[in-house]
Amino acid sequence: MTATPAMSPQPPAATTATFQLDGREVPFNEGQTIIQAALAAGRYIPHLCYHPEFKPHGSCKLCTVKVNGRPAASCTLPAQAGLVVESDTEELNGLRRTLVQMLFAEGNHFCPSCEKSGNCTLQALGYDLGVMTAGFRHFFPDRPVDASHPDILLDFNRCILCELCVRASCEVDGKCVFALSGRGQTKHLVVNAASGRLADTDADLADKAMEVCPVGVIIKKRVGFAQPIGQRRYDARPISAQALEDAPRPGAGSPGCAACEEGG
């Protein structure tokens, strides 16, 4: 167990508390994490498993920054006055590139045949970070597809285990359709039915959980390529610009979010 980072220089009295991100001050409210404050201030930190509407998770590690010289996940670390945070450095972007490469090598990510291509967060991060290859040896795991549900296809080949669907289903839908089982390389997504089939759960196309998958695991049936390639979410602008547009702003009617209200 280690002490929390030092709270050394107090900000000047009577102003909002701030921390430093890559040399510039970022204001924050009590209870905000580093990434929440940064995005609200229009400063991008790459992230994948973090989603403003759900409890921070801290598993993908894409949002790793250096806080007073020590690495930490910016999505789970509470902001504190006077912290010195580095994010946009060659070292940290190199780390993020490697993490993206690891995810591509671990699963079966065949973008040319994936309906999510162009709307995929993992892919968009790869583009923005300049990832040209997975580099590592591909695992080519043998993973199933669940097409049992009338409206929804689950293609586990692309799962990156970010638990966004798990969080959305429990926190928003109140259904807990998804959970994780196994560990290490056997870790995998399971659904809430004895049969293990999505059709036997109470999953519904209108659920929040069905729209949050950052990759192409949860796919709506019968709408394949309705939105042409080239006109998709990350075709117009890179994810670094898109994420700032999506970020909740102070007072801008951000969605109801336990994480934001309670600070995780």
Partner 1 sequence: MSETRKLRVATTSLAGCFGCHMSLLDMDERLFQLLEHIEFDRSPLTDIKHCGPCDIGIVEGGICNAENVHVLREFRKNCKILIALGACAVTGGLPAQRNHLDLGACLQEVYLTEPGLSHGLIPNDPELPLPLDKVHPLHEVVKVDYFIPGCPPSGEAIWTFLTDLLAGRSPHLGHGLIKYD
Partner 2 sequence: MTIPEHFPEQVVEDALAAFSGRPENLLQMLIRIQAALGHVPVDVMARLAQALALPLARIRGVVGFYAFLSETPQGLYRVRFSDNITDRMQGGPALLEQMCRRLWLEPGHLSEDGLLTVDTTSCTGMCDQGPALLVNGLAIPRLDPARIDRISDLILARTPLADWPEALFQVDDNLRRRDRLLDHDLAPGDALRTALARGRTGDREAAANARSWREGMPGGQGPLATLEEIKHSNLRGRGGAGFTTGLKWEACRNAPGDARYVVCNADEGEPGTFKDRVLLASQADLLWEGMTVCAYVVGARQGFLYLRGEYLHLLQPLEASLARRRRAGLLGRDILGQAGFDFDITIHLGAGAYVCGEESALLESLEGKRGIPRNRPPYPVSHGYLQRPTVVNNVETFCAAALVARHGGDWYREAGTAKSSGTKLLSVAGDCSRPGIYEYPFGVTVAQVLADCGAEDAQAVQVSGPSGVCIGREGFGRRIAFEDLATAGAFTIFNSQRDMFLVARNYTRFFAHESCGFCTPCRVGTAMLKNIMDKIEAGHGTPYDLAEIEQLDRVLQTSAHCGLGHTACNPTLDTLKAFRPAYERRMTSLDFEPAFDLDGALAKARQMTGRDDAGAHLSLKDHP
Q: Note whether 98 binds partner 1 by CB under 8 A.
A: no
Report what 127 binds from partner 2, partner 1, none; CB cut-off 5-8 Å by kind.
Answer: partner 1
Q: Determine the Cα–Cα distance for residues 170 and 176; give it in Å rounded to an integer.
A: 4
Q: Determine the Cα–Cα distance for residues 177 and 166; give it in Å rounded to an integer.
A: 7
Residue list 23-62, contact with partner 1 (CB under 8 A): none
Q: Total residues contacting partner 1 (rule CB under 8 A)?
A: 30
Strand boundaries in the chain, DSSP class E: 18-21, 24-27, 64-67, 70-73, 84-86, 145-146, 152-155, 178-181, 188-191, 218-220
Q: Note whether 133 binds partner 2 by CB under 8 A.
A: no
What would the 3-class secondary structure string for 80-147 be?
CCCCEEECCCHHHHHHHHHHHHHHHHHCCCCHHHCCCCCCCHHHHHHHHHCCCCCCCCCCCCCCCEEC
CA dihedral sign of residues 96, 133, 186, 157: positive
- The pattern of x and - marking residues 94 through 113 that bind partner 2 according to CB under 8 A reads -x--xx--xx-xx-------
- Strand-pairing partners, residue 19, are 26
Q: Determine the Cα–Cα distance for residues 58 and 162; give it in Å rounded to an integer.
A: 9
Q: Note whether 251 binds partner 1 by CB under 8 A.
A: no
Residue list 138-157, contact with partner 1 (CB under 8 A): 138, 140-143
- The pattern of x and - marking residues 49 through 68 that bind partner 2 according to CB under 8 A reads -------x-xxxxx-x----
Report what 176 binds from partner 1, partner 2, none; CB cut-off 5-8 Å by kind.
Answer: partner 2
Which residue's CB is nearer to partner 1, number 72 or number 160? 160
- Summarize as ranges the residues that interact with partner 2 (CB under 8 A): 1, 4, 56, 58-62, 64, 71, 73, 76, 78, 95, 98-99, 102-103, 105-106, 136-137, 139, 160-161, 170, 176-187, 190-194, 264
- Summarize as ranges the residues that interact with partner 1 (CB under 8 A): 104, 108-114, 117-118, 123, 126-128, 130-135, 137-138, 140-143, 229, 235, 237-238
